Amino acid sequence: MADFQRVMDHAVAVARKAGEVVREALSDDRKVMTKSSAVDLVTQTDQKVEQLIIQSVKEKFPKHRFIGEESVAAGEACILTDDPTWIIDPIDGTTNFVHAFPFVAISIGFSINKQVEVGVIYSCLEDKMFTARRGKGAFCNGEPLQVSDQTDIHQAIICTEFGSNRDPEVVDKMFCSLRNILSLPVQGVRGAGTAAINMCLVASGCVEAYYEIGVHVWDFAAGSLMVTEAGGVLMDVDGGELDLMSRRIIAANSRTIAERLVKEIAPFRLPRDDAPPQKQ
């Protein structure tokens, strides 16, 4: 039986250290590189922070496995097994970081038997530490979180993001969903520029739901637990069960809001996170 409190304490400590590195890097020049598209950004700070987290976890938990955004970008497999696994997004909101747009998070999920047991999201420019343990609630700086009780979609704020895929068919689908949702009407559509912080906003009761197609497991593993531990629900965008590797998510305050969104979202599929690498 893993000691989840030890895992949580370490995740919080290393996320805080990572946050310091990110804050310091904001005052330096940020050299920007690209990954899957011209708008999929990465910096040396993303890579440095991921190494910092992995090295520090390895010292404490030498048998644990990792799925890290920048390690996967460097060619490592993205396979979720039953083993204890740290699922790391060193900077969630890299585009925000590059522009000093003030929402940037370190996101650390920890899973066993493919189930997320611990979630830590450090919104490092706001200095907000979000924590969740399965069955033990979700917190921000130690204060308990609770999703909103609003189940009328017309009174809701919905968060979403547009990701970094600019294929015309993908952009068309995203706009179709957005048009449908805006026309319901909802009271507002927002996006913090990071999946992790959007999910913390759902958990905090500031918005009713967040949905996105194109995110990755490292973007939402920690956030998924934050939302359910604050009383919310998770769903695939087609109304089925959430699949951590499918790159699609609805995280909502209630089944009512989530199911209403399913009716408006134009679903599409992208290669799964655990798909074998494409031959060149």
Ligand X SMILES: O=P(O)(O)O[C@H]1[C@H](O)[C@@H](O)[C@H](O)[C@H](O)[C@@H]1O
Q: Which residue type does 106 have?
A: I
CB 57 within 8 A of CB 79: no
With contacts defined by CB under 5 A, how many residues of the chain interact with Mg ion? 5
Residues in a beta bridge with 140: 130, 143
- Under the binding rule (CB under 5 A), the answer on residue 89 touching Mg ion is yes
Instruction: Tell me the residue type at 159.
Output: C
Q: Does 219 bind Mg ion (CB under 5 A)?
A: yes
> Which tokens sit at 48?
């440095």
Binding segment (CB under 6 A) for ligand X, from list 86-94, 139-147, 221-229, 242-250:
86-94
69 is catalytic: yes
Our answer to whether residue 94 is catalytic in this structure is yes
Q: Is 91 considered catalytic here?
A: yes
Q: Which does 252 bind (CB under 5 to 8 A by kind): Mg ion, ligand X, none?
A: none
274 is in an annotated binding site: no
User: In the annotation, is 70 catalytic?
Assistant: no
123 forms part of the interface with ligand X (CB under 6 A): no
- 161 in contact with ligand X (CB under 6 A): yes
Instruction: Estimate to the nearest angstrom the gap between the alpha carbon of 1 and the chain centroid.
Output: 26
User: Smallest gap, in angstroms, from Cβ of residue 25 to Mg ion?
Assistant: 14
Phi, psi angles (nearest 5°) of residue 202? -65, -45
45 binds ligand X (CB under 6 A): no
In the complex, least distance from residue 171 CB atom to ligand X, rounded to whole angstroms: 13
Beta strands in 93-185 (DSSP E): 105-112, 115-123, 128-133, 137-140, 143-144, 157-160
Binding residue (CB under 5 A) for Mg ion from 10, 57, 69, 213: 69
| Residue 195 in the binding site for ligand X (CB under 6 A) | yes
Q: What is the CA radius of gyration of the chain?
A: 18
Which of Mg ion, ligand X, none is residue 264 near (CB under 5 to 8 Å by kind)? none
Q: Which of 103, 60, 63 is nearest to 84 (CA)?
A: 63
Backbone angles phi, psi at 146, to 5 degrees: -145, 130
Mention every residue, 6+ apart, whose C-beta is less than 8 A from residue 198.
159, 160, 161, 191, 192, 207, 210, 212, 223, 251
Whole-angstrom distance, CA of residue 83 vs CA of residue 63 = 9
Please pick, among 45, 94, 194, 228, the residue that the annotation labels catalytic: 94
Q: Would residue 92 show up in a list of annotated catalytic residues for this protein? A: yes
Q: Is-catalytic flag, 89?
A: yes
Binding site for ligand X (CB under 6 A): 69, 89, 91-94, 161, 163-164, 194-195, 212, 215, 219
Residues interacting with Mg ion, by CB under 5 A? 69, 89, 91-92, 219
